């Protein structure tokens, strides 16, 4: 049996973002396999751009990565009670590509945010955004990393055993859902 391909999408573009750290910890706890970090630094969706030039290469790459992945993890910050515009833009662009890359794909969603709710609202909205794509979104355990800038050590490892235990359980469920 081959090793799984795990794709991660961060709703934050900053390299040192806590959502990226959370995704890296999730990949570590997912276990052996190929981990790919998607690049969501895409042009804003624009129908005129699509009509004039077609699907941008970076968008097609993202769509292909989703299609080829055995499982996907998405982590978003909470901006104004919802997911980041970066993440929504990526979802909008991918919806314009051929095929149905998300269809029946095992997906785990999580959030890391500065606030005390840990991005709970953003994650709830994100789950709604995913409905048209018809992936298999895992229902839990939910990961809402509150006060996220205080939750990692200098190497990017989670400090809280409680968060790590929940994330490990979620990644075990994702791995099983992907058939590994």
pLDDT tens, residue by residue, 11-55: 999 999 999 999 999 999 999 999 999 999 999 999 999 999 999
Q: How is domain 5-178 classified at the CATH fold level? A: Rossmann fold (3.40.50)
pTM for the whole structure: 0.95
Rounded-to-integer distance, Cα 178 and Cα 180, Å: 6
Give me the residue spans of the domains in the chain: 5-178
Contact between residue 69 and residue 137 where contact means Cβ atoms under 8 Å apart: no
pLDDT tens, residue by residue, 63-97: 999 999 999 999 999 999 999 999 999 999 999 99
């Amino acid at each position: 049996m081959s090793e799984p391909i795990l794709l991660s999408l961060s709703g934050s573009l900053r390299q040192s973002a806590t959502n990226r750290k959370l995704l890296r910890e999730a990949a570590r706890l997912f276990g052996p396999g190929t981990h790919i970090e998607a690049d969501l630094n895409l042009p804003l969706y624009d129908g005129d751009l699509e009509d004039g030039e077609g699907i941008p290469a970076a968008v097609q790459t993202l769509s292909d990565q989703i299609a080829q992945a055995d499982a996907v993890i998405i982590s978003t910050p909470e901006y104004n009670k919802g997911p980041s515009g970066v993440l929504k833009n990526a979802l909008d662009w991918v919806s314009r590509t051929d095929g149905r890359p998300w269809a029946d794909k095992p997906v785990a969603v999580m959030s890391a945010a500065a606030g005390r709710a840990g991005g709970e609202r953003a994650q709830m909205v994100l789950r709604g955004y995913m409905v048209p794509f018809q992936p298999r979104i895992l229902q839990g355990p939910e990961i809402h990393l509150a006060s996220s800038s205080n939750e990692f050590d200098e190497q990017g490892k989670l400090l809280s055993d409680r968060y790590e235990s929940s994330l490990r359980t979620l990644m075990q469920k994702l791995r099983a859902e992907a058939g590994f």
